[in-house]
Amino acid sequence: MSASRFSARNTLKNSQAETNENEFETSQNPIHYPPPRTPLNSIADPSQCRKESAELLADSLYKLEAVRGGLQSERKLEDSSDRYGNVGFNYVTPRVVSRGGKAHSEPNSAQSSPARNVSRISLGGAAGTCAGSRAMQLSGGRGGSFSKVSRGISATNSELYMEVPHFELKEDPSFWMDHNVQVLIRIRPLSNLEKVSQDCCRCLSQESGQTLVWLGHPETSFTFDHIACETISQENLFRVAGVPMVENCMSGYNSCMFAYGQTGSGKTYTMMGDINEMEGNLNEDCGITPRIFEYLFARIRAEEESRTDEKLKYSCKCSFLEIYNEQITDLLVPSSTNLQIREDMKKGVYVENLTQHNVRDVDDVLKLLSQGAANRKMAATHMNSESSRSHSVFTCIIESCWEKDSMTHFRFARLNLVDLAGSERQKSSGAEGDRLKEAANINKSLSTLGLVMMTLVDLAHGKHRHVPYRDSRLTFLLQDSLGGNSKTTIIANVSPSICSAHETLSTLKFAQRAKLIQNNAKVNEDASGDVTVLQRQIQHLKGQLAFFMKHKRFPKPMSSMHSNRLSNSSEVYDSLEERTTGSQKIYLGSKEINCMKATLVGALRREKMAEAAFQKLKDEIELMKHLARQREEKIKQLELLAEGTLSAEKYLMKENNALQEEILLFQAKIDKNPKLTSLSMENDRLSEQLELFQNFYEKGERERLQAELSELRDQVQVTLEGNPTFTRKIENQYNDNIKQLEDCRNMNFKLIR
Ligand SMILES: Nc1ncnc2c1ncn2[C@@H]1O[C@H](COP(=O)(O)OP(=O)(O)OP(=O)(O)O)[C@@H](O)[C@H]1O
């Protein structure tokens, strides 16, 4: 869809900007590293906003009435005040208490008629003071005027029901090939109250599927991987953010999705939405989590069916926990509280005594989600009467195993779906007593999360820093998802309302920082048994070959006695195929052929990989030589400078040029050039492989395998001369391997360049 539907952009003018510790620096310098850190939750005080909003609301309502006459009076909007009598966000994500017939969700988007609202809100003398047309100038200091909320933002009278542009989210399947972290912004629609109270004034203007402008002072433009506009459907969001997560998990990558944002910005709506089923199908309002599992199980079924020959089997285990007041509770066994995080060489980071539930279909998952959601601690705050005060983490471990080339392969992936608590400042939520303690803890984990991210960004820039994962439960538990072995999506939820301008800015800044994190995701596949299996195969093949060598001149099929003696195993060569080599007849079982094939292919592959690694090493040496030459050149220049042969001015000019080139290079790195990232990832991967092979060579395994390989190759050739189909197959496979080798060489060449 195009942006043509965007009829008008808010004409928010800058009013005087307050200086504040949270002020965003400049749009030209979006990445900053403030000492010691930028406060994450640099947001205004919505409780103040409430009071001021009430006054402004009255003003707006008068204007509404004036503009629309009695036309709007028929609109039936429900009462928008919360149970504390605050006029707050009247959106509440339906939270399912129980499933099945008993399940009920709370009313979405409460509607209230402006007239009824006016009558309920204490308007003071403000009502009617600005009933005529005027430019609503919101300015002033910290003393409690609206500008405390919309600091630096002033609003003129904008269109009452401004249409926002719609940008369809575009799927990009290649994204995850080059990246490990994706940041997506989701803008929720204005609530009914926001629509009337602020003349639909927005603090955001979306310009494309990737860019938006924060309309404060200074007007700041942000670019992200995706920006989901107000009108984006849950389905579209899932296709762009959810489907790749499932695919990554199926490929054995750990994956994680965070929903971040101030309270009421739509985190729970995004992650869970309405999890009730409608006639066996997921509700169209249901969030990304249930959709992910619906898709995951469909994929699993398809994979299992298409790979029956490999005996592919999947298993999924889920757990659901919350971190509340820095304590971990099992949401599926709520009595199980204060659980501890442990670290283990084999299991990694895990929560001790957290229950895990086997799930076989989306219904099983929906049951767990409903159960957990009902147990999630919620408490009313001034901002959202159904606000989630805890961080929830839904985890699914997806394991698969299959047999191929006489080896058993294991693969696993951990999928974390995290709904964070609201990122607002303590004061903003109007919290007191227990709520204040909660807020402090929420802030602790969120500020640690921010600190961890900042440190990771530093690390990505080559600085040596300690990452304070252990400073909060949240970061300790999710350390793999932050800068570790995971492909991570961060969905930053924002409100477009002018009333949330600074919370929104704060979230955008957080998201922008998150973009710079570099994870190091790896396929979790157990290949440790490979060498042992290979060795066993070689032994087995040796036995067979010895047998064939001895018996090929005899046309009779080998007896079970022979086979037992030679293989010295329970293998019985029962399905023997007859092969003719000239006048000689030999007998081969399909099992033997497969084994030989596997050994041959494996050995060839290893040989080629080793060759590629050698080539890479050679190229690296070349590069080092080149660098050494550059250094020598520089030393010469310095000597000339010291002798006075070269003028300081000339030297500095040269140096300056060189440094500028370097700056450009670094700039490109900072901008996270995807090509560079992908190359560096590839580079890392190859380095690891190289290391593997170096170990391989040092143990003399290569020589041994090479000798065996050539012996086997000869034997197989002789043995299979009579079977042209199979020989052709081997040849094709060989050619494929040669092609792969070529590709690797090219890749190495590119990497070096
Ligand atoms: N994209 C959207 N489309 C329609 N309604 C939305 C959207 N995003 C949020 N809402 C509505 O806004 C309200 C607040 O959303 P939600 O409860 O998900 O916020 P939250 O960020 O999870 O808040 P908290 O941190 O307090 O739990 C809900 O009523 C929800 O239905």
In tens, the pLDDT along 456-497 reads: 888 878 788 888 888 889 999 998 888 888 999 999 999 998
- Going from the Cα of 457 to the center of ligand 1, the distance in angstroms, rounded, reads 30
Whether residue 93 is annotated as binding a ligand: the answer is no
Q: Which of 145-154, 260-269, 720-729 comes out lowest in average pLDDT?
A: 145-154
What value does the CA radius of gyration of the chain take, rounded to a whole number of Å? 32
Buried b (16+ CB within 10 A) or exposed e, 500-531: bbbbbbbbbbbbbbbbbbbbebbebeeeeeee
**Which residue has better confidence, 284 or 312?**
312
Nearest CA to ligand 1 atom 17: 93
- Kindly give the number of the ligand 1 atom that is closest to the alpha carbon of 95: 17
Whether residue 667 is annotated as binding a ligand: the answer is no
**Do 69 and 106 form a contact (C-beta atoms < 8 A)?**
no
- pLDDT recorded at residue 170: 85
Angle at 143 between CA 142 and CA 146, to 5 degrees: 75
- pLDDT recorded at residue 627: 84
> Other CB atoms closer than 10 Å to residue 162's CB: what's the count?
17
Whether residue 479 is annotated as binding a ligand: the answer is no
- pLDDT recorded at residue 532: 62
pLDDT at 41 over 80: no
Nearest CA to ligand 1 atom 30: 93
**Do 383 and 425 form a contact (C-beta atoms < 8 A)?**
no
* DSSP assigned state of 109: S
What lies within 8 Å, CB to CB, of 501 at 6+ separation is: 44, 149, 150, 151, 153, 203, 214, 215, 216
- pLDDT recorded at residue 382: 45
pLDDT at 531 over 70: no
- pLDDT recorded at residue 403: 84
- Going from the Cα of 36 to the center of ligand 1, the distance in angstroms, rounded, reads 33
Nearest CA to ligand 1 atom 16: 266
Average pLDDT over residues 498-525: 88
- What secondary structure does DSSP assign to 351-373, as a single string? ETT---EEE-SHHHHHHHHHHHH
**Do 247 and 409 form a contact (C-beta atoms < 8 A)?**
no
Whether residue 141 is annotated as binding a ligand: the answer is no
**Which residue has better confidence, 420 or 72?**
420
- pLDDT recorded at residue 184: 95
Strand partners, 404: 407
Using a 6 Å CB cutoff, which residues line ligand 1? 91-93, 108, 188-189, 261, 263-269, 384, 387-388, 421-422, 493
Q: Largest Cα–Cα distance in the chain?
A: 112
Say which residue the tokens 């997506």 belong to: 184
- pLDDT recorded at residue 313: 92
Name, of 513-527, 661-675, 722-736, the range with top average pLDDT. Answer: 513-527
- What secondary structure does DSSP assign to 435-468, as a single string? HHHHHHHHHHHHHHHHHHHHHHHHHHTT------
- Kindly give the number of the ligand 1 atom that is closest to the alpha carbon of 378: 27
ipTM entry: 0.98
Mutate to test the pocket of ligand 1, among 43, 90, 91 (most ligand atoms within 8 A of CB): 91
Q: Which of 286-290, 527-531, 589-593 comes out lowest in average pLDDT?
A: 527-531
Strand partners, 626: none
356-372 pLDDT, tens per residue? 999 999 999 999 999 98
- pLDDT recorded at residue 268: 92
Q: Report the C-alpha gap between 86 and 120 in whole angstroms.
A: 10
Compute the mean pLDDT over every residue in the chain, rounded to the nearest whole number: 69
**Which residue has better confidence, 434 or 342?**
342
Residue 550's SS3 state is helix
| All domains in the chain, ordered by first residue | 1-159+180-523 (3.40.850.10), 592-752 (no CATH)
Average pLDDT over residues 18-40: 30
Whether residue 216 is annotated as binding a ligand: the answer is no
Average pLDDT over residues 36-56: 35
Spatial CA neighbour of 68 closest among 108, 36, 109, 114: 114
Average pLDDT over residues 117-133: 29
Spatial CA neighbour of 80 closest among 44, 45, 119: 119
**Do 318 and 368 form a contact (C-beta atoms < 8 A)?**
yes
- pLDDT recorded at residue 431: 54
- Going from the Cα of 497 to the center of ligand 1, the distance in angstroms, rounded, reads 13
- Going from the Cα of 92 to the center of ligand 1, the distance in angstroms, rounded, reads 6
* pLDDT above 70 as % of the chain: 61
- pLDDT recorded at residue 533: 61
pLDDT at 696 over 80: no
Average pLDDT over residues 77-93: 34
Instruction: Using pLDDT thresholds of 50, 70 and 90, give the confidence band for residue 373.
Output: confident
Q: Report the C-alpha gap between 700 and 621 in whole angstroms.
A: 24
Name, of 100-104, 245-249, 569-573, 610-614, the range with top average pLDDT. Answer: 245-249
pLDDT at 288 over 50: yes
Q: How is residue 210 written in tokens?
A: 């990737």
Instruction: Using pLDDT thresholds of 50, 70 and 90, give the confidence band for residue 82.
Output: very low
- pLDDT recorded at residue 151: 33
379-401 pLDDT, tens per residue? 434 444 445 668 899 999 999 99
Q: Which of 138-152, 280-294, 707-721 comes out lowest in average pLDDT?
A: 138-152
pLDDT at 322 over 50: yes
pLDDT at 567 over 80: no
Q: Report the C-alpha gap between 302 and 299 in whole angstroms.
A: 5
**Which residue has better confidence, 472 or 575?**
472
- pLDDT recorded at residue 580: 40
Length of the chain as a residue count: 753
- pLDDT recorded at residue 651: 84
Nearest CA to ligand 1 atom 14: 264
Strands 313-324, 357-359: pairing is antiparallel
The alpha-helical segments, DSSP class H, found in 644-673 are 648-670
pLDDT at 635 over 80: yes
pLDDT at 270 over 80: yes
- pLDDT recorded at residue 140: 29
Q: Report the C-alpha gap between 478 and 482 in whole angstroms.
A: 7
Average pLDDT over residues 592-620: 73
- pLDDT recorded at residue 527: 57
Residue 723's SS3 state is coil
